[in-house]
Amino acid sequence: MEWIQQLVNGVSLGSIYALIALGYTMVYGIIKLINFAHGDVFMLGAFIGFYAIARWDMHFIPALILAMILCAVIGVIIERVAYKRLRNATRIAALITAIGVSLLIEYTVIFFRGASPEAYPTVIENSKIEILGAQISVQAIIILVISLVLMLLLQFIVHQTKIGKAMRAVSHDADAARLMGINVDNTISATFAIGSALAGAAGVIFGIYYTRIEPLMGVLPGLKAFVAAVLGGIGIIPGAMVGGLLLGVVETVVSALGYSLWRDAAAFVILILILILRPAGIFGKNAREKV
């Protein structure tokens, strides 16, 4: 029953990618920007959780909530300072700015604390339980449950709350939303806040799962989450969730088959295949765009 164990591990890893991918896809859906600084917000969330648990003796859930709140604030600051003035600029200008913000965050953290990695404290005992003859990690199950709760909460916010309706309206047509009395600037900031909060939660969960964090840790998971967003259909929230879960399962299967050195490459092979075979992603629809 090893396949059940590998499937649970893959879905747990994929749920981390999905949480990060949601930030990419929400921001792209609203302002058509690929926010490459998003992976570094994930890194900041991991460090906030680390200091909250290791230095301030907080329990796991309060540390997770603190990381989400602070990352939400950081996301809004990034949007207001770096991106707000570029809404009518060319996409390449916004993209270069996003890369610049990413490097600024990474090397600011290195400047203040150095580049040495930190060992995440153990907050969830990594015991095993037997399910259908397979030894499943309790840690993996808890991570999966927390991630699913956050994804369901996001779905509730998007579909059942006033800010969620505003986000969907701005995504569809920002000018028409503005004419209907929606504050577009505040809606965009709220989108960055929610996406960054999910990235912060993913950072804490990642630290617990892998037990090692460092200032450049956001680069590869951030790129993989971007692949997950493209796989599901960039700009489509359910697509980011499904894409992240699929990517996690694929990586775990590749490792289980004995090709662990290829697990990172698998994500980018998937990206190439998706761009060739179905550029709009699993849930996306091909649409003509005037240029």
For the stretch 10-63, pLDDT in tens is: 888 899 999 999 988 998 888 888 888 999 999 999 999 999 998 888 898 999
CA distances (Å), origin 42, targets 74, 87, 209, 285: 11, 24, 14, 29
pLDDT of residue 85: 87
DSSP annotation of 116 reads -
CA distances (Å), origin 272, targets 88, 100, 160, 221, 268: 30, 25, 36, 17, 6
pLDDT of residue 199: 94
Domains of the chain, by residue range, sit at 16-217
Residues of the chain with pLDDT under 70: 1, 126-127, 131-134, 284-291
Q: What is the pLDDT of residues 227-250, one digit of tens each?
A: 898 888 888 888 889 999 999 888
The reported pTM is: 0.90
- Closest to 146 measured CA to CA, from 192, 195, 194, 205: 205
Rounded-to-integer distance, Cα 123 and Cα 239, Å: 31
